[in-house]
Amino acid sequence: MRIRLIVLTAAITLLVLAALAVMVQRQTLKLAGQERELVKEIYAQSKEVELRHYVSLAQAALGRLAVEDGDVAAQQRQALSMLSQMQFGKDGYFFVYDRHGNMLLEPSQMGLQGVDFCEPDNPSGFLQASMIMTSARQGGGLVRYDWMKPSSQSNTQKMSFVTPLAHWGWVIGAGLYMDDIEAALNIIDNHARQNIEETRRNFYGIAAAAVLAIGLAGLAFNLRGQRVASGKLQRLAQRVVRSQEDERVRVARELHDGVVQVMVSSKFLLETAQASLPCALPDTGRRGASLLLDQGLQRLNDALAEIRRVSHGLRPALLDDLGLAAALALLVEQVRAHCTYRVDFVQQGQVRDLPTAHATALFRVAQEAFNNIQAHAHPTAVQVELCFGARTVCLRIIDDGLGFDLQRVQADARGGIGLRNMRERMESLQGRFEMQSGRDGTRLVVTLPLPVAAGAA
């Protein structure tokens, strides 16, 4: 459920960020288009103002010549010569037509390379010349058309301003090429694309950070839940172990205080009956009754021994009275009495009083280990070592038996219950469980940390 929630949250976050990215991209393109049109209009207006200014200057200069006394033809030649020298910018120049549409200022007069005028007699310039003359007859104004730019030798949109010169019946004008406007607009478009790309990268980064944050939050949530669940399982396992130990103590006490006492009383009664056999009975009858009583007493003794053994196995009294070391020594003696292999017990370090849970866990591990050795290992020797350290207590059980496949046993869900019980006992007390097995035998090492009070004792 947690994984589905995390995936759903991440998917919704990505969808929201993708929608925002698309919306921002569209808004950026819209604003860039509006800016483009605004810049284009401002540039066009600035070009128009510039052209009007140039034409006004030329018109004023020619007007002064026209009002002077003298030969009109000479004045016109002087005017054309002056206009041929009045250039502006890299590609700016003036052009002059008479009232009939004839061109009065030739390109050769200007000394510029690549300059070409809109000549009415030239098919390539007829349409443009017609547009210029039409605008002049209507009082002048702006004319837009495509024309060859001298510096680049390519057709470029051009804006010209023309006005009539009433004194001589001329039409004068000047033009500016609009490719610089396109260059400025291209810069705007490039900036818009860069902004969109940068915004997209930022959104990708935000999306990655959001997904990473969601993933980390989910991981932290899962880890926290796992820690809480693990803590609950550990506490539950500890309660189960305590319940088991309490039940074993209760059963051992009941056996010792109840069944054993009854059987001991029965034994005393049988012994009294054996001692009180009537001497008047024939020898044969007395011997037969005595034999039956002996057999009954022997079986009763065997039953008492078995019950005491079971009672000690459930909860050895030495574990509570003298501690873990004495209980392990007793366990080794009991195993040694019923096995065919050698069993040695070694104690190292200063003996410390252990908490009941620690001592019980180590004793149960030793019991389970001996059960496994007796059932499966068939060794010739077993070494039991109990080591007390400054902060830990360690139990080692080493045998030279047949060994087993540890990985296979651990992977088998239906087997290895004893190993899992030993491991869970150690983990519930924050201990360490280690086992190695092979052809040379099996080595079991369990280590428990000593509480501060126990370690300081």
The two tokens of residue 170 are 């001329």
Q: Which DSSP category does 114 fall into?
A: T
Q: How confident is the model at residue 456 (pLDDT cuts 50, 70, 90)?
A: very low
The pLDDT of residue 332:
92
Per DSSP, the three-state class of 342 is strand
Name the token pair of 54.
Answer: 């140039």
**Top-level class of domain 2-184:** alpha beta
Tell which wins on pLDDT, 206 or 384: 384
pLDDT band (50, 70, 90) for residue 379 = very high
Residue 259 has pLDDT above 60, yes or no: yes
- When pLDDT is averaged across residues 296-324 and rounded to a whole number, the result is 70
- Read off the pLDDT of residues 360-373 as tens digits, 9 standing for 90 and up: 889 889 988 998 99
* Model confidence pLDDT, tens digit, residues 91-101: 788 889 888 88
Q: How much is the pLDDT for 395?
A: 95
CA gap 137, 285 in Å, rounded: 167
Is 426 or 309 the better-scoring residue by pLDDT? 426
pLDDT at 247: 65
- pLDDT band, very low/low/confident/very high, at 21 (cuts 50, 70, 90): confident
In sequence order, the 6+-apart residues with CB closer than 8 A to the CB of 13 are: 207, 210, 211, 214
| Torsion, Cα of 262, 264, 268, 271 (10° steps) | 120
Distance CA 16, CA 294 (A): 93
Among 167-171, 214-218, 241-245, whose mean pLDDT is lowest? Answer: 241-245
Q: Does the pTM of the predicted model rise above 0.85?
A: no
| Residue 271 or 361, more confident | 361
pLDDT at residue 194 is higher than 60? yes
Cα 104 to Cα 100, 143, 428, distances in angstroms: 11, 19, 110
Q: Tens digit of pLDDT for each residue in 53-63? A: 988 988 888 88
Q: Cα separation of 334 and 328, whole Å?
A: 10
Share of the chain above pLDDT 70, in %: 79
Q: Which residue has the higher pLDDT, 202 or 404?
A: 404
Which is the CATH superfamily of the domain at 323-456?
A: Histidine kinase-like ATPase, C-terminal domain (3.30.565.10)
Break the chain into its structural domains and give their ranges.
Answer: 2-184, 323-456
The C-alpha atoms of residue 180 and residue 186 are separated, in whole angstroms, by 10
Helices (H), 373-436: 406-411, 417-428
- Predicted pLDDT of residue 165: 87
* Residue 256 to residue 264: CA distance in whole angstroms: 10
